[in-house]
Amino acid sequence: MSARFSLRRLGAMIRKEFIQMRRDRLTFAMMLGVPVMQLILFGYAINADPKHLPAAIHAQDHSAFARSFVKGMENSDYFRFVATAESEAEADELIRSGKVQFVLHIPPQFSRDIERGLRPQILLDADATDPAATGNAAASIQFLAASVLARDLKGPLAAQGAPSPVDVVIHRRYNAEGRTELNIVPGLIGVILTMTMIIFTALAMTRETERGTMENLLTMPVRPIEVMMGKILPYIIIGYVQTAVVLAAAWWLFEVPFAGSLGLLAFVLFFFVAANLAVGFTFSTLARNQLQAVQMTIFFFLPSILLSGFMFPFRGMPEWAQWLGEALPLTHFLRITRGILLKENGFPEIAPDLAAILAFLLVVSLVSLNRYRQTLD
């Protein structure tokens, strides 16, 4: 009898699965929550053609031509002028610190040279660490140069406007060839660490609960902070090993330049890894079994890779998504690693992002210590 396929037995299995699914509320919520989150993030937050990128102007000529050029750039929707640089050095600082994506340099005697038909050069400095973010904007400016000024040039000047009255030179800084891997590989350090560190700790604690060893741990005179640090520190070492592997690959296989200080990167790494481990520890105090811990990790990991600027340009996202991104440690860590490896950033440039990671670490640690119970109540 039992050799044949039985619909009744199949029905019993299916019923049992549904009952268990319903009992595990969190899993049930995740089954609905993850698709909704993905829809919102992919549908609304992600934009592969970022607009309104912050730019600065370094003008050594304030003529009508210069003004209409800037106006034209703003009207193209790709650029948003947020700062004015008085000097070469100031312009440099703005782009290095990541405050702006572009600096437009207008040379002295710009209008005079146009009128004389000398095709003056306009220099657009672009932070090309993320080629996807700058690509379209940079392409649009070439087209602008011809169209915008054509309106201002009348009479004999218009006639000579053969290809374009100005020569736009785009200087792709930090990534002259626009290689995507220069952006991806340093970012990968953060992504790999986020994924593995959170899941390690989330499972490490949940395993104790699931296997019943938590009870024994609680009967012994061990303090929550000792348990937490004891769980976290071994993985910080693992995190350094992982980073070393990715950096070695970045160097040998992808020829990523190591512009800045590796010591500084190693210093920041400690806090970033600790922040992720604290997240994992918090999850492990919330999850009742290892499956739930894995699901919570996914719930955190997904927005981390989508909203941090790892896969899609951060500045291409709507404001609410940028705010969400700012709350994630990966966002700040990406800026730091890209800054250090590609832009030779030093401590002053990375300090704001490091502060954000520290704040995150502090808040999450407090939450997790608060959640960890020394009793079985």
Partner 1 sequence: MNPALAIDVRGLTKSFGGTKVVDGLDMQVARGEIYGFLGPNGSGKTTTIRLICGLLTPDGGEGSCLGHDVRSESEAIKRETGYMTQRFSLYEDLSIRENLEFVASIYGIAKPKHAVKETLEKLNLADRSHQLAGNLSGGWKQRLALAAAIMHKPKLLLLDEPTAGVDPKARREFWDEIHVLAAEGLTVLVSTHYMDEAERCHKICYLAYGKLLARGTVDEVIEQSGLRALKASPTLEDVFVHLMRDVTDNFARRKAG
Q: Which is nearer to partner 1, 174 or 200 (by Cβ)?
A: 200
Question: Using CB under 8 A, which of the segments 26-34, 79-87, 213-221, 241-249 binds partner 1?
Answer: 213-221
Tell me the closest approach of the beta carbon of residue 373 to partner 1, in angstroms: 10
What's the closest the beta carbon of residue 234 comes to partner 1, in angstroms?
Answer: 14
Select the span of 122-130, 191-199, 284-292, 369-377 touching partner 1 (CB under 8 A): 369-377
In the complex, least distance from residue 213 CB atom to partner 1, rounded to whole angstroms: 5
Stretch of 52-60, 142-150, 209-217, 299-307 lying at the interface with partner 1 (CB under 8 A): 209-217
Q: Figure out which of the listed residues 1, 32, 220, 241 binds partner 1, where binding follows CB under 8 A.
A: 220
Select from 75, 87, 216, 370 the one that contacts partner 1 (CB under 8 A): 216
Rounded least distance, CB 31 to partner 1, Å: 27
Q: Report the nearest approach of partner 1 to the CB of residue 292 (Å).
A: 21
> CA separation (Å) from 92 to 87, 103, 315, 354?
9, 8, 20, 22
Give helix 329-343 / helix 180-211 axis angle, nearest 10°.
140
Distance CA 230, CA 84 (A): 50
**Closest approach of partner 1 to the CB of residue 374, in Å:** 8
Query: Residue 29: what residue type?
Result: A
Distance of alpha carbon 306 from alpha carbon 312, whole angstroms: 7
Binding track over 245-284 against partner 1, x by CB under 8 A: ----------------------------------------
How many angstroms separate the CA atoms of 322 and 307, rounded? 7
Rounded-to-integer distance, Cα 20 and Cα 31, Å: 14
How far apart, in whole angstroms, are the C-alpha atoms of residue 279 and residue 248? 27
Q: Please give the structure tokens belonging to residue 239.
A: 């995190």
Binding mask 168-207 for partner 1 (x = CB under 8 A): ----------------------------------------
Q: Which of 17, 77, 215, 255 binds partner 1 (CB under 8 A)?
A: 215
Q: How distant is the alpha carbon of residue 326 from its chain centre?
A: 9
- Residue from 43, 155, 212, 348 touching partner 1 (CB under 8 A): that is 212
As beta bridge partners, residue 106 has 59
Cβ(126)–Cβ(78) below 8 Å: no
Which residue, chain included where needed, has tokens 């741990």? 217
Among 221, 263, 319, 348, contact with partner 1 (rule: CB under 8 A): 221
**CB closer to partner 1 out of 75 and 370:** 370
- Judged by CB under 8 A, the chain residues 4 through 43 that form the site for partner 1 are none
The residue within the footprint of partner 1, chosen from 86, 177, 319, 377 (CB under 8 A), is 377
Pick the piece of the chain touching partner 1 (CB under 8 A) from 113-121, 218-226, 281-289, 316-324. 218-226
- Gap between the Cα atoms of 236 and 222, Å rounded: 21
Shortest distance, position 296 Cβ to partner 1, whole Å: 24
Could you tell me where the DSSP H helices lie in the chain?
7-23, 25-40, 64-75, 88-96, 110-115, 131-152, 156-159, 180-211, 213-219, 224-252, 262-286, 290-307, 319-326, 329-343, 347-371
Shortest spacing between CB 198 and partner 1, in angstroms: 22
- Pick the binder of partner 1 from 75, 180, 213, 370 (CB under 8 A): 213
CA 43 vs. chain centroid, Å, equals 18
Binding residues for partner 1, total number by CB under 8 A: 15
Using alpha carbons, select from 140, 132, 131 the residue that is nearest to residue 104. Answer: 140
The contact set with partner 1 (CB under 8 A) reads 211-216, 218-222, 374-377
